[in-house]
Amino acid sequence: MNRNDAWIRLDGIEKRFKVATRTAGLKEATKALFARKHTIVEALKDISFSIGKGEIVGYIGPNGAGKSTTIKVMSGILVPDEGQCSIMGYNPWKDRTEYVKHIGVVFGQRSQLWWDVPVIDSFELLRDIYAIPEGMYRDNLAMLTEMLDLEAILKMPVRQLSLGQRMRCEIAASLLHSPKLLFLDEPTIGLDAVSKLAVRNFIKRLNREQGVTVILTTHDMSDIEALANRILMIGKGTLLYDGTLDELKERFGTGKTVTVDYRGRSGPVAIEGTTLIEWTDERAVYSFDSEKVTLAEMVTRLSESVEVVDLSVSAKDIDEIIVQLYKEHQI
């Protein structure tokens, strides 16, 4: 893909915040009345990437890394200090009112629904705000109601909804105007397993059936595993990794563990290139690096000396990989 005609392109985006700081205590607070100390926090440093139409991109990084700031820049809410950004041919902050007609945004920690009135009232307000034609509104509402199972909750006031119900409504609210690009900032935060799965399946279906491009930030690596073909990792305002999840796993996730249940052996079996973690008369746990010893070799060596009853292999958890990656970059 040529970088210049990419659907979404960010080039050298920088954003700095001025933060007032002082240490605790009355004396310091009094001092701060007269002379305030400011620190400049570099929230984004030279962020560049491009995303093609129809992709699902996971945007990850520890708290305070700059994920939300990037989303806000990309959705036209924040004006960056430096850099260029072009999305669908628009400059998000300069062409804000025109541009936002084509995007949907969900901030998992905020609400766009009117608190005291039934959900459907908020939806109708959005219909008028986005000037959605009546036919399109009806079709979209019917589709979203079915896909997100909203039928029973549309007429309830927002304040009486559970978090999972509200989040489904929030997501529906962001899609009423058929946006081509959807930003999800922590859409699964605080949701139970059932709601999480429902939200994930919906996002997948939306991407597959309607070709909606999705950019999502999350701390839940299983979200990423289930959804994103590509991940961008940011730490301390710098882009650290851009690639597929599989590549990441290959690079960092070569450590595996094997658990073997067996009969007919009373002493430990040592296998070259592996570490024996646990040993009993029925079970042993080995950890090994799949780049040094193949699984086939291990199984052969084991079955030479014991009668294998059961065997399970587990790869390193994606969370562990991410922690390792954060450590490597010291973030």
Partner 1 sequence: MKAYASIWRLRFINGMQYRSAALAGMATQLFFGFVFIMIFAAFYSNGSGDQPISLDDLITYVWLQQIFLSFIMLWFRDQELFDLITNGNIAYELCRPMELYPHWYSKLLAQRFASATLRCFPLMAIVFIIPEPYRMGFPPTWGSFVLFLIALALGLFVVVAISMLIYISVFWTMSPVGSILMIAVAGEFLAGMVIPVPLMPSWLQPIVYILPFRWTTDFPFRVYSGHIPVAEAAWGILIQIAWLAVLVLAGRALMKKALRAVVVQGG
Give residues 127-156 in contact with partner 1 (rule: CB under 8 A): 128-131
Q: Which of 39, 109, 280, 330 binds partner 1 (CB under 8 A)?
A: 109
Q: Beta partners for 239?
A: 234
**Are residues 266 and 281 in contact, defined by beta-carbon separation less than 8 angstroms?**
yes
Distance from C-alpha of 10 to C-alpha of 313, rounded to nearest angstrom: 41
Minimum CB separation of residue 296 from partner 1 in Å reads 47
Per-position x/- string for 15-44, each x denoting binding to partner 1 as judged by CB under 8 A, each - no binding: --x---------------------------
Choice between 68 and 165, CB closer to partner 1: 68
Query: Binding to partner 1 by residue 301, rule CB under 8 A?
Result: no
Q: Beta partners for 72?
A: none
Choice between 131 and 296, CB closer to partner 1: 131
One-letter amino acid of 4: N
Torsion over CA: 9, 110, 62, 320 (sign): negative
Give residues 205-264 in contact with partner 1 (rule: CB under 8 A): none
Give residues 44-103 in contact with partner 1 (rule: CB under 8 A): 63-64, 68, 72, 75-79, 96-98, 100-101, 103
Alpha-carbon distances, residue 105 vs 101, 175, 192, 239, 269 (angstroms): 11, 9, 22, 22, 56
Q: Beta partners for 234?
A: 239
Minimum CB separation of residue 110 from partner 1 in Å reads 5
Task: Give how many residues touch partner 1 by CB under 8 A.
Answer: 32
Minimum CB separation of residue 217 from partner 1 in Å reads 10
Minimum CB separation of residue 327 from partner 1 in Å reads 23
Minimum CB separation of residue 68 from partner 1 in Å reads 5
Q: Which of 6, 32, 117, 240 binds partner 1 (CB under 8 A)?
A: 117
Cβ-based neighbours of 213, under 8 Å, separated by 6 or more: 7, 8, 51, 52, 53, 54, 55, 56, 180, 181, 182, 207
Choice between 11 and 124, CB closer to partner 1: 124
Residue range at the interface with partner 1 (CB under 8 A); choices 122-130, 142-150, 244-252, 277-285: 122-130
Cβ-based neighbours of 329, under 8 Å, separated by 6 or more: 235, 240
Q: Which of 112, 145, 195, 257 binds partner 1 (CB under 8 A)?
A: 112
Query: Binding to partner 1 by residue 124, rule CB under 8 A?
Result: yes
Burial 172-194 (b: 16+ CB within 10 A, else e): bbbbbbbbbbbbbbbbbbebeee
Q: Beta partners for 10?
A: 49, 85
Minimum CB separation of residue 55 from partner 1 in Å reads 21
Strands 255-263 and 230-235 come out as unpaired
Helix/strand/coil for 135: helix
Minimum CB separation of residue 213 from partner 1 in Å reads 16
Residue range at the interface with partner 1 (CB under 8 A); choices 108-116, 223-231, 255-263, 301-309: 108-116
Q: Which residue has the tokens 């520890």?
A: 62
Minimum CB separation of residue 112 from partner 1 in Å reads 4
Helix (H) or strand (E) holding 275: strand 274-279
Query: Binding to partner 1 by residue 125, rule CB under 8 A?
Result: yes
| Positions that interact with partner 1 (CB under 8 A) | 17, 63-64, 68, 72, 75-79, 96-98, 100-101, 103, 105, 107, 109-112, 114, 116-117, 121, 124-125, 128-131
